[in-house]
Structure 1
Amino acid sequence: MTEERPDEAPLDGVLIRIGQAIMLHRAGDREEARNRLSELWHEIGPQGDAFHRCTLAHYMADTQDDPRDELDWDLRALEAAEGFVTERAAGTDTGALCAFFPSLHLNLAADYVALDRPADARAQLLRARASTNGVADGEYRQGLREAIDRLAVRLEGGGGGGWGGGWGAEA
């Protein structure tokens, strides 16, 4: 028998399953991670919890092989995040998801770089940079700013190599 303590939040099964898929991806099983996230995406559905949809789409993008598919998933993540913030604007704390915005815009910028759409990439970098102001000072915020700067340098021709997905200190 499991005893629930009042000071503990209930476990979120969807986030646990997303986390398991992320672990598979990070361990190198990209296809299985993509399969599990896809199955979960269909379970959640288009009217499902916006935080779940945002989180899932954010990580599903990283499992894609085609940059256009990655862009599609990153756009879904941003749409869900914006929907979540709109739904919760009336007094509910949206801070956890707001911390996602710089990463979401940074990922979109990287997608646009990969698709040779520099104007779109620059626009997303501006959004990423502006949205870091809503993130608390600390290592995460600093990592975001450094990743934005690296991609900006690369976009302007000062960097080499491929983007490679992810920026190191993912949300």
Structure 2
Amino acid sequence: MEDDVMVRVTAAVRRGQAGERAAARHDLAAMWAEVERGGGDDFHRCVIAHFMADLQESGREELMWDERALAAVDGVSDERAQEFHASLRVRGFMPSLYLSLADDHRRLGDPDRAREFLAKARATSDALGEDAYGELVRGAMDKISRALTEGSTEPLPDH
């Protein structure tokens, strides 16, 4: 099934990765407004919010978007996710969603909340595949764990 919202999300994410962060943020904000008006569903909300978080300039804004992504995932079924890609399972989203929140709280100076979300990420990490994405998320868990041990609130490289 061709999903116009996801096509536009993918294009916006690519813009952000190419260094056009403000333009990508603008595009995703417009899509968020559209889905909030009924032009999308919780799958769209979860994906848009997850990627929007990575484009924020402030830690508080990033946390807000990551919280929106986590709230939206409750309304996503495996069947809905598989309409976009047959391999997707909602449980596979959870390690990354929790990990994003762990890192947000760590950078905002709340190590206790960060550890709670890191524990949730680790508890759901069995849903990750033995592929590049799974390795990326597991590696980020280790980096966040080390940063928490060191008491660092600095952004992590490549995260």
Both structures adopt the same fold (TM-score exceeding 0.5)? yes
CA contact (8 A) 2:143 2:156 kept: no
Any stretches of 5+ residues in structure 2 without a counterpart? 81-85
Residue in structure 2 matching 1:116, options 95, 109, 112: 109
CA distance in 2, matches of 1:135, 1:160: 26
2:41 corresponding residue in structure 1: 49
Identity of aligned residues (%): 38
1:32 corresponding residue in structure 2: 23
Any stretches of 5+ residues in structure 1 without a counterpart? 1-9
CA distance in 2, matches of 1:156, 1:96: 32
Instruction: Report the alpha carbon displacement of residue 146 of structure 1 after superposing the two structures with TM.
Output: 1.6
CA contact (8 A) 2:59 2:108 kept: yes
2:97 corresponding residue in structure 1: 104
Q: Which amino acid aligns with 1:71?
A: L
1:136 corresponding residue in structure 2: 129
Instruction: Report the alpha carbon displacement of residue 97 of structure 1 after superposing the two structures with TM.
Output: 2.9
CA contact (8 A) 2:105 2:113 kept: yes
Q: 136-145 or 149-158, which moves further after superposition?
A: 136-145
Instruction: Report the alpha carbon displacement of residue 150 of structure 1 after superposing the two structures with TM.
Output: 1.1
CA distance in 2, matches of 1:32, 1:159: 30
Residue in structure 2 matching 1:18, options 6, 9, 24: 9
CA contact (8 A) 1:85 1:94 kept: no
User: Is the helix fraction higher in 1 or 2?
Assistant: 2
1:4 corresponding residue in structure 2: none
TM-score by length of 1: 0.80
CA contact (8 A) 2:109 2:153 kept: no
Q: Which amino acid aligns with 2:58?
A: D
CA distance in 2, matches of 1:94, 1:139: 15
Structure showing greater Rg: 1
Q: Which amino acid aligns with 1:84?
A: V
Instruction: Report the alpha carbon displacement of residue 98 of structure 1 after superposing the two structures with TM.
Output: 2.2
Count of aligned positions:
153
CA contact (8 A) 1:70 1:111 kept: yes
Instruction: Report the alpha carbon displacement of residue 161 of structure 1 after superposing the two structures with TM.
Output: 4.6
